């Protein structure tokens, strides 16, 4: 057997063992780099992609960091390319879609952990701030997930009257403010607290309840309501 044939045989054996562990084990059957390795094998079928998988983990910190990385940056990573980047990004897309089903067509307040899981998957690893308002009906079901701005949380980006007007236009009776902190820490700033209180006051005047303002970060989440700030 030639060296290339032997390498190919060993590679097939390694892939078969990974597949067997994946299919036969639980959620911890594969290490993070092995999850990436298995995904990359489908995009790069004739190459040892273990070093590539490990280099991605080293660059982005963990599995979530890789999946949430910018697509263009992934494609430019040494050894990658658009096909490989797409193979990873479609997994991130699937994860978001699955998490979103947990908050649709059911009372959000009664499925709070599902909401937090969805928001964490969607926002925790962003490198910029994203501000959203979740508009709810009389049964606290999500009727609109509205992206307000990409940027800092202040009145230049969020107009309390406009937030409440959108609620009225949507037929919503309640809302939840959401944004992320790219720094990682979800602790609220003075601006976060002030804008939340202004929106809550505007809502009270027109019968719109502000249930909460949730801040998402890589280090966890913070509820302003739980902190007694609303």
Domain residue spans of the chain: 3-98, 107-223
Residues 42, 43, 46, 50, CA torsion sign: negative
Supply the mean pLDDT for the chain: 85
DSSP percent split of the chain into helix, strand, coil, nearest 5: 50, 15, 30
Name the maximum alpha-carbon separation found in the chain: 81
pTM over 0.85: no
Could you read off the pLDDT of 120-137 as tens digits, one per residue? 888 888 888 889 999 999
**Beta-carbon count within 10 A of 162 CB:** 13
Q: What's the CATH class of domain 107-223?
A: alpha beta
Tell me the CA distances in angstroms from 230 to 163, 177, 199, one per residue in order.
16, 11, 10
Kindly report, residue by residue over 159-210, the tens digit of the pLDDT: 888 899 999 999 999 999 999 998 878 999 898 999 999 999 999 989 999 9
């Amino acid at each position: 057997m030639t060296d290339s044939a032997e390498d190919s045989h060993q590679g097939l054996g390694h892939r078969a063992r990974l597949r067997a562990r994946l299919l036969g084990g639980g959620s911890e059957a594969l290490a993070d780099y092995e999850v990436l390795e298995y995904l990359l094998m489908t995009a790069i079928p004739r190459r040892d992609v273990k070093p590539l998988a490990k280099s991605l983990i080293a660059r982005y910190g963990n599995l979530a960091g890789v999946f949430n990385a910018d697509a263009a940056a992934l494609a430019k990573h040494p050894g990658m390319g658009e096909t490989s980047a797409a193979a990873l990004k479609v997994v991130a897309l699937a994860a978001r879609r699955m998490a979103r089903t947990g908050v649709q067509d059911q009372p959000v307040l009664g499925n709070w952990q599902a909401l937090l899981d969805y928001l964490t998957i969607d926002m925790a690893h962003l490198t910029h701030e994203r501000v959203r308002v979740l508009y709810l009906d009389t049964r606290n079901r999500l009727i609109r997930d509205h992206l307000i701005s990409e940027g800092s949380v202040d009145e230049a980006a969020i107009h309390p009257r406009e937030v409440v007007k959108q609620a009225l236009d949507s037929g919503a009776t309640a809302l939840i403010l959401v944004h992320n902190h790219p720094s990682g820490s979800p602790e609220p700033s003075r601006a976060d607290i002030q804008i939340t209180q202004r929106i809550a006051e505007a809502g009270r005047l027109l019968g719109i309840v502000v249930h909460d303002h949730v801040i998402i970060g890589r280090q966890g989440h913070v509820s302003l309501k739980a902190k007694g700030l609303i």
